[in-house]
Structure 1
Amino acid sequence: MIITDSRGRRAPAAIATVLAGALLLTACGRSAGPAPADADGAVAPSPGITDTTITLGTTSPLSGNAAGVGTCAVDGAVAYFEARNADGGIEFGDGKTRTVEFVAYDDGYDPQRALGNFQQMVGDGIFAAALSLGTPTNRAWREAAIDEEVPQVLVQTGDPLFSDPDESPWQLGLLPIYQQEGAAFGELLLASGEHHRVAILYQNDDFGLGYVEGFKEAVEGAANVEIVKELPFEATAVDVSAQVTELASSGADIFFNAMSSLAPLVIGSLQQADAVDWRPSWFLPSTSSSPAALLEPSGVADRFPAIYTTASSQSAGAPGFAETEDGAEFLAALHEHTSQTGVPSFPQCVWSWIGASVIEQAFRTMTEPTRESFMDALRSVSDFEAPLLLPGGVIDTTENGLPAMSSVVVQRYDAPGFIPVDALD
């Protein structure tokens, strides 16, 4: 379904069930007291929920350099909730069955637009905001969400701030925090026992700095890992060729590229390294390692010794994925309810499908039609074997400081996809 918001923008939407919930507010010195009752003594519902429907909002880059990942982040949730709606909706913990309306707003990966979108969501009466993509864009309206006491949950960012209930009482992250991913690769280098010279290119914001922080903490004091050069770039940059060329002069055998899924920059950095005949092994964040959308289009990915990333979910492009029960359900719903065709190029479709399944778990246990009850239910999910996680992975939202998905596995590019590894090649 396509919904046009009140400012005339067209945004993908889905019908699904969502409920809101409870969370004690601590950091701001507030305490969420009991929900008010109506004239009949029943708990008054929060905005955006009725006995039959619930409305969720999301802000994501549906235009600009990050439009591919932003659209995928929306479509996975759309597909999930539309499929549940087609089955009659979701039965909530209060015994009522509801369908969900999932309304998307385009922020173009611009923090100010993201803030404006949240303000529009509040005006439009959404119950909660969910699965929004991007670190700077989610950061831009975090304080506003706390002030308005509107859930901002399962956001698609590895920023640890969103998984700290004391600092962010109305928030919860979905993805492993960036420091975890950076540390996992650092530990892989340490375990190799060989000496490595590392060059770092990092996005100059919380995203890039988080990866670098985790990597540096993991290799601190290590005799076999030497950081020989590091350079920043701005997320608004249109080219990083100069930085890649300068880093190439370091002679590093490892390129730690802490870059978000800005397709022209990821592809351009691969091509520039090849052009200057620099052949390091690469580390790319999970958000920036799509074989179909980034590595294969570069035309040079197979010229490097290895390209590594981390993962906590299955890849829709992996051999045999479509033959599994969960994979077949995911692809069928995606093709039926969104404009996605074939296998999605970006992992964000899978991530938002997983996130939507976590939201459904919270709906099924929340007992009152309030945002406070929703938050209580959402922060009580544990040992949930969500669809499309890697084998052995579970969802646990009960650990302070950790997001819903908190385990990572290092993988190496092996066309057409990635394979898990426990040692550096």
Structure 2
Amino acid sequence: MNRHLRICAVLVTLMLAAAGCGSSRPGGGADAVPGVTADTIMIGSHQPLTGLASPGGNELAPAARAYFDYVNSQGGVHGRKIFFKYVDDAYNRGNSLSVVRELVEQDKVFAILDGFGTGPHEAVADYLNARRVPDLFPVSGCPCWNDPIKRPYTFGWEPDYRREGKILGTYVAKAFAGKRIAYFYQDDDFGRSGVAGLDSVLPGASVVARESYKPRYNDITRQMRAIAQAKADVIVAFSVPADTALLRLEQQRMHNSARVVASYAGSDPTTLSALLAATGPQSAVTGRGSPLIQGIITDAFLPPAADTANSWTALMKQIHNRYLPNRPLNLYAQAGIATAYLFVQALQRAGKSPTRQSLVAALERGGLPGPGLTPLAYRRTSHAGLTGVQIGVIKGDAIVLQGQPLITDDGSGPVTPYRAPQTKAPANGIPAPDTPS
């Protein structure tokens, strides 16, 4: 019996020693931070590498990875290199949860970054919060990402569609006073949130048609016929690029001359021109953008890629030319670099031994400057992202901004100009180790 007890004591001692070694080694043991080792951090994402949103949208994740490669080439963050694994979900919420489960439960990622699309990301946000995985900067302006009580690990980044709808609606009410207005929108939280913003500022009597379409449905003849029969002078669209292109083609076919005002989500000139060029000579790109996109009114939350005098644009071009020279620097690629930059800022703040909670706390401190045209709304009681946009018009193959950036809230607050000058990009392209709040 004594011999048996001595053997048990030795086994227990060895097990405790092994457990102690495992938990002290970065990336190992039950108490280790998932995705973090002594010299690496692994993050993941679900992306539309194929499917409806892939035109244009498939540029975002490679651009984010390019920025991480740039940071890694200069030593990473606190000595750790960032590895970004993104997986195709084809912009289909039915695929998104299985993709994200694999990233979290098998790949053990530290955080999910840039989950793409309102519907697809709604399928995974609650799962990520239940697992306490930082859910950072969904590629969607759904107001639903700003819910620190229900979703404390989720942080929006794009201006939410309700704010955008208020700003676009305020512009339309002034620029097209007395005109007949039609809505064309995707029938999910993306489109419905934009419409809610429009309705909060536009006179109801001026809206003569409200036409929605289902995602992944590629025949909008009925919707366009209804808009034409309503004799709308202006069409306000909350649609992805593929459906904005369809809208313009239907207008051309029906000889409809209504002015189009389009959400940033569906108005990237590079993407629209490429989509329209594929449809035939009548909509071919001339070298200065497709004729069918000229004059579209839209908005932007980042400096346009054509604004070469802007320091953030110069940084993005430098990174893009170095790592992705054969791919377009469209709005999505710019957004990928911008969100990767913000992640690096938050990771620096999270400390030399980052945890998921310290990353959340770093964002909630607020005061993080970056390439956005308006400030972020981050604080403990707000996980909303950029607070506004700037109106622009497509000319040639670029968006030409007009006036000043405009900001508002996602409630009943006014739309007001934002006059503070934009912070310049750091000379070395990497944020300072910490930024005071």
What is the deviation of 1:84?
0.3
What is the deviation of 1:269?
1.2
Summarize deviations over 1:23-59 as a string: whole Å, max 9, x none: xxxxxxxxxxxxxxx9779994321101211000010
Paired positions, count: 369
Kept after mapping to 1: 8 A contact 2:378/2:385: yes
Aligned: 1:256 with 2:241: no
What is the deviation of 1:192?
3.4
Q: Alignment partner of 1:230: what SS? A: strand
Percent identity at matched positions? 23
Distance in 2 separating the partners of 1:417 and 1:369:
40
Aligned: 1:53 with 2:36: no
Aligned: 1:332 with 2:318: yes
Among residues 301, 309, 313, which one is paired with 2:298 in the alignment? 309
Structure 1 counterpart of 2:313, one-letter code:
G
What is the deviation of 1:272?
0.8
| Residue aligning to 1:14 | none
Moved over 6 A (4+): 38-43
| Residue aligning to 1:3 | none
Aligned: 1:227 with 2:207: yes
Judging changes above 3 Å, is the alpha-carbon distance between structure 1 residues 49 and 325 closer, same or farther for their aligned structure 2 residues? same
- Identify the range of structure 1 (399-408 vs 193-202) with the bigger mean alpha-carbon deviation: 399-408
Structure 2 counterpart of 1:207, one-letter code:
F
Judging changes above 3 Å, is the alpha-carbon distance between structure 1 residues 249 and 377 closer, same or farther for their aligned structure 2 residues? same
Structure 1 counterpart of 2:39, one-letter code:
T
Aligned: 1:280 with 2:258: yes
Structure-1-length-normalised TM-score? 0.80
Distance in 2 separating the partners of 1:145 and 1:303:
41
Kept after mapping to 1: 8 A contact 2:60/2:333: yes
| Residue aligning to 1:118 | 100
Kept after mapping to 1: 8 A contact 2:55/2:275: no
Aligned: 1:85 with 2:72: yes
Judging changes above 3 Å, is the alpha-carbon distance between structure 1 residues 135 and 86 closer, same or farther for their aligned structure 2 residues? same
Distance in 2 separating the partners of 1:360 and 1:196:
46
What is the deviation of 1:396?
4.2
| Residue aligning to 2:219 | 239
What is the deviation of 1:306?
3.6
Of structures 1 and 2, the one scoring higher in RCO (CA 8 A, sep 6+) is: 1
| Residue aligning to 1:365 | 349
Structure-2-length-normalised TM-score? 0.78
Alignment of 1:288-307 (within 5 A): 288-295=266-273, 298=276, 299=283, 302=291, 306-307=295-296
Judging changes above 3 Å, is the alpha-carbon distance between structure 1 residues 44 and 208 closer, same or farther for their aligned structure 2 residues? same
What is the deviation of 1:394?
3.4
Distance in 2 separating the partners of 1:315 and 1:168:
32
Summarize deviations over 1:233-275 as a string: whole Å, max 9, x none: 10020221231122111111010121123x2x22121011121
Summarize deviations over 1:142-174 as a string: whole Å, max 9, x none: 111111111111111101111221121110011
Aligned: 1:105 with 2:92: no
Q: Alignment partner of 2:58: what SS? A: helix
What is the deviation of 1:324?
4.9
Judging changes above 3 Å, is the alpha-carbon distance between structure 1 residues 249 and 102 closer, same or farther for their aligned structure 2 residues? same
Aligned: 1:397 with 2:378: yes
Summarize deviations over 1:368-394 as a string: whole Å, max 9, x none: 431111111122231x3313x33xx33
Distance in 2 separating the partners of 1:116 and 1:47:
19
Kept after mapping to 2: 8 A contact 1:173/1:404: yes
| Residue aligning to 1:30 | none
| Residue aligning to 1:407 | 388
Q: Alignment partner of 2:181: what SS? A: strand
Summarize deviations over 1:101-152 as a string: whole Å, max 9, x none: 1000100001021111110011211010011110001100111111111111
| Residue aligning to 2:419 | none
Aligned: 1:374 with 2:352: no
Kept after mapping to 2: 8 A contact 1:289/1:295: no
Judging changes above 3 Å, is the alpha-carbon distance between structure 1 residues 273 and 90 closer, same or farther for their aligned structure 2 residues? same
What is the deviation of 1:297?
5.1
Judging changes above 3 Å, is the alpha-carbon distance between structure 1 residues 195 and 402 closer, same or farther for their aligned structure 2 residues? farther
Q: Alignment partner of 1:412: what SS? A: strand
Kept after mapping to 1: 8 A contact 2:23/2:32: no
Distance in 1 separating the partners of 2:149 and 2:346:
20
Q: Alignment partner of 2:180: what SS? A: strand
Alignment of 1:98-247 (within 5 A): 98-122=80-104, 123-192=106-175, 194-220=177-203, 226-247=206-227
| Residue aligning to 1:27 | none
Judging changes above 3 Å, is the alpha-carbon distance between structure 1 residues 362 and 45 closer, same or farther for their aligned structure 2 residues? farther
Kept after mapping to 1: 8 A contact 2:238/2:265: no
Structure 2 counterpart of 1:112, one-letter code:
G
Gaps of 5+ in 2: 1-21, 277-282, 285-289, 405-437
Gaps of 5+ in 1: 1-37, 92-96
Distance in 2 separating the partners of 1:39 and 1:274:
65
Kept after mapping to 2: 8 A contact 1:59/1:117: yes
Structure 1 counterpart of 2:69, one-letter code:
E
Distance in 2 separating the partners of 1:142 and 1:244:
34
